[in-house]
Amino acid sequence: MAGQADNRAPYARIAAHYTELITSGQLQPGTLLPSIKNLSEEWKVSTATAEKALRKLRNEGLVRGIHGIGTEVLDAPAPMSSGSQRQDRGRRTGSSWGDGERSDSHQAAVVPAPAEVAQALDIPPGSDVIRRSRVYRDRHGIVAHSTSWIPARYGKLIPQLATSERLTGGTSLQLIAQATGHPISHRIDSASASLLTPEYARLLELEPDNLSTEPVVVMTAKFVDNEGNIVEYGVDLGGPGRTWRTESEVS
């Protein structure tokens, strides 16, 4: 049992534990989870709490209940996550990765800002910007191709922003806040569906001759510091078969 030392409710900690085991492949499809009685004994919680944990896993599409048999692990890709969700995750856990995720193909360069990026960052078109990209994967394949566009002035404060490797010491937003002394105060998120263009197919490592006709999810996030400066514009392209899901408590 590997409950996390955090402030989540017991049922959420149990669900997170099994989410990690399922999405990382440690629990294969068809595996049966412990019964409600066994869960309650193992985690030292009530049967109602154990049932709530299993219900959360069912709601997330990770398992299904089979009458008279138990709770079975399903084989389904995890949903994609947006830049803002990764920011929340990084602040909460110290890592932007989701359960069972990893990132690779880290690339960075200083390039002229495309018109859409310039508008998002409120800078003149063609201004120098840092373009950082990486691919998030899990055992099913690509979760999302993610690109961060950052005004070049921050590269003078943090040279590693323009290097083609995974950042050390924090996320780009954390590093910028530390260097400037201005924390991120708010963000602006958007979500849309887009047809799979040849460029999107290249970024998602798909074969151009056999492209899906289904749209892909495109998420954007604009991050603003406490002085009103737009410090980053993120664009996340969801992998094939991925959906975007968010969850919040309702009081």
Q: Which residue has the higher pLDDT, 76 or 28?
A: 28
According to the model, what pLDDT value does residue 135 have?
93
Per the listing, tokens 């690509």 go with: 142
Contact call for residues 47 and 92 (beta carbons, < 8 A): no
CA distances to 28, 106, 158, 227 from 177, rounded to whole Å, are 41, 21, 11, 11
Mean pLDDT of the chain: 87
Q: Which residue has the higher pLDDT, 104 or 3?
A: 104
According to the model, what pLDDT value does residue 150 have?
98
Mean pLDDT, rounded, for 139-147: 85
d(CA 248, CA 251): 10
> Which distant-in-sequence residues (6+ apart) come within 8 Å of 241 by Cβ?
77, 140
Determine the residue type at 40: S
pLDDT-derived band of residue 4, with 50, 70 and 90 as boundaries? very low
What is the DSSP annotation of 20-68?
HHHHTTSS-TTPBPPPHHHHHHHHT--HHHHHHHHHHHHHTTSEEEETT
177-232 residue pLDDT tens: 999 999 999 999 999 988 888 899 899 888 776 666 778 899 999 999 999 999 99
According to the model, what pLDDT value does residue 176 have?
97
According to the model, what pLDDT value does residue 145 have?
94
Answer left, alpha or beta for residue 70, where phi above 0 means left and psi between -120 and 50 means alpha: left
Least confident interval from 4-13, 28-37, 142-151, 205-214 = 205-214
- The pTM is what? 0.68
